[in-house]
Structure 1
């Protein structure tokens, strides 16, 4: 009947004071450990400064109405209410004789007569949930309380009180566990109050692991003191015996038998849905019980309301509750894991494999792995494949697939020799399979071999074996697995694109791959094929449409945490390429550099093409040093033999532009007048003409442009016509307007204004006179003139936003010797999520390695 005493380690939470003190009635609803009693005790102490605070902590005996009223009157007597002139003696004498409701009315009359501000705190009101009579007395108090009286209620489960009218009248503040949870600042304050000096990353991981649950934060502080391994506090909380006992005595023990058994059965996974729980329990009422747990604040929240709702258990609660099930009912836990594996096998293979392994069913574990490992890899989930490999039984009839999976991971890591050993081992292990299984196994092995060829010798080298494999599939009498078909189609399309073969065939193959992947649900493979289609799609001339495709697929990837997926680099490179042609030079440079940081190391063809446009972007920005650095990388690829046939022509054209920018005009002109290397780069003539016209040789420039093919790409047409207009204007030829009009016609549909902006002052006068001369593209002319006048646009790429709070935390780990897996464990996140955060950091800092990220972060004073 008195508030709990204040603690030296109580955390001030001023954000909640207006909510608690600002309404006549306040209800704090949440499970054990959310600080409800502490908050109301502080509110009671504030009230005592200028009035009276009556405190009553209820228990099961208060389910009897007479006992509840008696306790209430006794608590009022201990509150110093009588010192204000209130007369409680008649109420004490009649507590055993009078009807409870009459006594409550008499008690309210005393409060009216006292005319002093008062607060009544009813703590642990959940004890009245099974007592409608006692709950009715509380309802009566709420309805008829005097204006100078406030009522504060705390309960793990709020009895069915009539609170609707209070809500409508804005007289009620109802705070749930989401409101009562610590903020990140409050968690940090709790750590400091305990006298611990933990770094921000560790404090952040404690907050994320506990979800701000105050009791969990307190346990984390105690664990940090006990174990002394501060980075490992979050995983230690999953095993902490003190926390397990707290949950058992304060939460599980307070539940009815039916609800307790349901909770034990439904916490096998942190994320659950009704059909999963019903499959595990063999019932049909899971949704009703899950909703009951949500309503009761039982560490469960609803996450989505699609065709089937999904719910999320608090991770610490789920971990400790399941450990209790395993300890108390091991056979039941094993059967439930097997049922969960069967359910998850069609939803998420890694989760299914984990459950099968926990059920101790090696055959089921291996079977799920064999069916899904290639799909997981093609979805970009290499970490899930590695985790699954660790859970496979040592002796398995499916060991051939384990060798293939390891081989593909090694190929991805560039360890070709080791991958070859694994492929040989897989071939030996698969020899004894039945005919049908062996045929499908050989298909998977052929795909791994194709990856090995492409990753080891370059994507262009994978074209012929990939095409042969597709022909074999066509001639086969059995259906090919969609994942295998889509991946081979993608490799053939990528190889043909690197060989710069027929654009229509390339796009057809890549789009077929994307369609197959889409129908199969292989999102990462679908996005990869679509990303690959962006650059060959330039041949179709629908540049804005392709840009929308690239932005859409990158957005979809970002939603899944796949921003750094290396196979999406072509889409990013395309965006950088298009921004160069649109004159958005700062955005172009950011996109091109980002794509280079994402790119697969063996994709020399795409790297050279991207470096080509990075060179020109740097030149347009006036960064000659950056341009020379990019061009030197192209030269290095040519000298190493890792180049496409037309690269020498491309490099020679770039070299001429670079020499001009470096002031070496004579060398540039000599190079521009020299023989053209075959096969010819489509823009080489336009670049040579640019050098000549800027060197004061417009007639020579026009002669070069006479050799530009008539069936040229739209950007080649735009660039060539711009230089042609500039050269003809320099010669005072009236047909300069004809060239300019043709350039505008090519540029306007996709806003390819970069060539006009590159000419700048040389074209300004001609553009102005062109308006008077007459044009069908007046809007384009005015836009170009406005941009020439205002200078280059200073667009900031959408991929260069500031680091998030979580990324700042991960950034601090990068300066340690922890591996990505250890960072994931310390932060209580999956390895895939940790890698995604690291990829985001690299992209936002514009770097491609851990050491470079640390150096760049230090330069920006992010540490």
Structure 2
């Protein structure tokens, strides 16, 4: 395409050729579509080559060029060239002018076919001309250079900046390279913009408004296209990412795919995008698309408005924020408000809170549905812990609702009720919100008004979450969450369905089918990943479950990665889940020998308990952790003293097992048995059974009762083998290793499990890369570089020609993949991983 330096490259090659032989240069134009004129120009180019031995033979040819048959004249020219002994280069520049001239193309084909062996031919064109190149390819006599090879590399962009005399910071050079994608003409324009403005960090914005660049694109690109393709390009650049159905819908045509492929073939600023989707997607170069939109708006304003209106309707079911942007560009604030009212709650549940706020900012000031904007802000502010702002927004919503007709008020009352419910959760915690949510569901059941399915399913999720966190009514929470998932699935509310399924992973532990739940959690995350919802906060329970199960399976490195990732996702008000994750992260760090991190995580739990917002059984959970930490630090007597403190009520389910472990290690196996009697009940969960039986076997062995130790080991293996819960065996130390070897000799119904555990112990803690190992994508690596600067998120978005929402989404993904929650922490973690 224009501006990639084709002519510059060939001119340099021709100058080099002059030192060894001669160069024939012909720049073609539309007149060369006539083969007679083309041959005449070829003769003129040969005459200007500087070869004296050609001069005499070319004179009679030029005299008869306009009368003779073109191919005959080409043969005569080639005969003259055969007599030259020096290396020759024939340059044919701008050959795209012959694209629709078969007769002139035959002349060039003839030259290619019969050119002398000492001649090299170089062709430059914006469009691959209709030449017969197959034979040359088969004979390996053809080299093809595309725009991606002519584009500047990052180093070449830096060199161009240096040669221009600009002293720019590396990040500014990187910005220029990224926004231009190495397009040489764009790099040149960026250099000029940086030089003139004196503000290199604003180059991306300058380029979008640069009139010289706009004029260049108009004269060198648009004006070179035939009318039909030019109209297509003007219509199809409303979005940087496009697909045929989008363009056909807004234009009322059926040939978009043909035109898009033509644009690709013609070397326009278009690349092929996602090919895995049902429909092909294409990406316009952002600079090109921005200027084409400006051209359309200025030259055809009515056409632009009509296209934006149609685009808003097409995007509405696919991406509401994009639909709202188009509606506002079309000047239809009412349509934008309707789209927002219909879809904001769904966007919120998808975790796209920045997109909701971005949409609110785009809405007209005087919107008939401004109550939705108030409710959305109340929900988001509450989620972010800005409770005063949330209350103000909710009060504004109540005030606006008073003016609504009775027929419309019930819908908004449902929405306000769920916002109130979420606010209760933010203020008091999820467990305290259960009562309010249950009452709300009761009112919905008794009301003659049919509630929005999204509202009902969301309330069910909230109540199910609260019940799951309370850990008292597992069946009730599972019923509620599964009902919510079914309602959401029936109504196409995918984010809500995945949220309910993710939440169900925690209470489903009570059913004992741990591998099945693992498949459920992995499936939820895979479906979310396919939709780009890697960082959806409400999926944290699924990630936490995978980390929890890896801990019990003894996959400690994987467990730590998953648990740290889930911590970065947990909603601010979800203290219960945060505490449970910190609990298992502490034990994972202990098992890995990282006492410092274990202490830090336990300290966070202490701080949360001191705030007074935690469940009554948390102190017993913390006491168990403290005992294990003291034991790991060598404070056996202190740990034993703590283990002998009378148990509180209610108590964390694993607390007796933790105390028993400490007491065994402290040489008090009899007292350990007393603690285990409190936990080994018929209702004990399978992982608790496994851990407790392992400790029980150690206690029996310490008392010299090997028969009882074998019996306990057999029960522990029976509990562990179905789901691979080998963590309690792997972390029990050398005494357990000897017990297992003796148990294998003694005889067991689980020899494979014993052999597996002993193999794991022998080879050391193995470390598999987690399935969610979270390598950063190329785009995320680019955004990661910005995080080390002082640019704001808005400036990063501007520099990368992406929306603020997209930039924040990338940053959120980076945080989650690195297991951090702030920019500073991300920079530190990235440095540790050598990502900078």
Q: TM-score range by the shorter chain?
A: over 0.9
| CA deviation vs aligned residue, 1:176-201 (integer Å, no higher than 9, x gap) | 33343333333333333323333333
Contact kept in structure 2, 1:379 and 1:522, CA below 8 Å? no
Contact kept in structure 1, 2:383 and 2:573, CA below 8 Å? no
2:400 aligned residue: 429
Among residues 848, 851, 858, which one is paired with 2:821 in the alignment?
A: 848
1:141 aligns with 2:111: yes
Contact kept in structure 1, 2:358 and 2:805, CA below 8 Å? no
Give how far 1:576 is off: 2.1
| CA deviation vs aligned residue, 1:616-667 (integer Å, no higher than 9, x gap) | 2222223333323322322332232222232232223223223323333333
Q: 1:200 to 1:531 in 2, by over 3 A?
A: farther
Taking structure 2 as the reference length, the TM-score comes to 0.94
Query: How far, CA to CA, are the matches of 1:332 and 1:436 in structure 2?
Result: 38
Query: How far, CA to CA, are the matches of 2:774 and 2:377 in structure 1?
Result: 36
Query: How far, CA to CA, are the matches of 2:93 and 2:443 in structure 1?
Result: 75
1:715 aligns with 2:680: no
Matches within 5 A, 1:445-456: 445-456=416-427
Query: How far, CA to CA, are the matches of 2:139 and 2:450 in structure 1?
Result: 67
Query: How far, CA to CA, are the matches of 1:447 and 1:613 in structure 2?
Result: 32
Matches within 5 A, 1:178-577: 178-304=148-274, 307-577=278-548
| CA deviation vs aligned residue, 1:702-758 (integer Å, no higher than 9, x gap) | 232222222211111110111111112222322211211221121122221111111
Q: With CA pairs under 8 Å and 6+ residues apart, which has the higher RCO, 1 or 2? A: 1
Give how far 1:349 is off: 1.4
Q: 1:220 to 1:121 in 2, by over 3 A?
A: same
Q: 1:172 to 1:553 in 2, by over 3 A?
A: farther
Q: 1:339 to 1:590 in 2, by over 3 A?
A: closer
Taking structure 1 as the reference length, the TM-score comes to 0.91
Q: 1:850 to 1:44 in 2, by over 3 A?
A: same
Contact kept in structure 1, 2:179 and 2:799, CA below 8 Å? no
2:808 aligned residue: 835
1:34 aligned residue: 4
Query: How far, CA to CA, are the matches of 1:541 and 1:602 in structure 2?
Result: 28
Give how far 1:229 is off: 1.7
Query: How far, CA to CA, are the matches of 2:585 and 2:339 in structure 1?
Result: 45
Q: Name stretches of at least 5 consecutive residues in structure 1 with no aligned partner.
A: 1-30
Contact kept in structure 2, 1:84 and 1:116, CA below 8 Å? no
| CA deviation vs aligned residue, 1:101-128 (integer Å, no higher than 9, x gap) | 1011122222333354322221101111
Q: 1:279 to 1:622 in 2, by over 3 A?
A: closer
Contact kept in structure 2, 1:275 and 1:286, CA below 8 Å? yes
Contact kept in structure 2, 1:554 and 1:563, CA below 8 Å? yes
Give how far 1:32 is off: 0.8
Contact kept in structure 2, 1:563 and 1:836, CA below 8 Å? no
Query: How far, CA to CA, are the matches of 2:271 and 2:490 in structure 1?
Result: 33
Query: How far, CA to CA, are the matches of 1:831 and 1:556 in structure 2?
Result: 25
Q: 1:67 to 1:351 in 2, by over 3 A?
A: same
Query: How far, CA to CA, are the matches of 1:550 and 1:269 in structure 2?
Result: 35
Q: 1:81 to 1:539 in 2, by over 3 A?
A: farther
1:106 aligns with 2:62: no
Give how far 1:482 is off: 3.1
| CA deviation vs aligned residue, 1:407-427 (integer Å, no higher than 9, x gap) | 122112212222122112112
Query: How far, CA to CA, are the matches of 1:748 and 1:545 in structure 2?
Result: 14
Query: How far, CA to CA, are the matches of 2:279 and 2:827 in structure 1?
Result: 44
2:42 aligned residue: 72
Contact kept in structure 2, 1:85 and 1:114, CA below 8 Å? no
Give how far 1:46 is off: 4.0
Contact kept in structure 2, 1:70 and 1:92, CA below 8 Å? yes
Give how far 1:552 is off: 3.6
Query: How far, CA to CA, are the matches of 1:840 and 1:353 in structure 2?
Result: 24
Q: 1:285 to 1:509 in 2, by over 3 A?
A: same
Query: How far, CA to CA, are the matches of 2:248 and 2:291 in structure 1?
Result: 21
Matches within 5 A, 1:81-160: 81-83=51-53, 87-160=57-130
Give how far 1:386 is off: 1.6
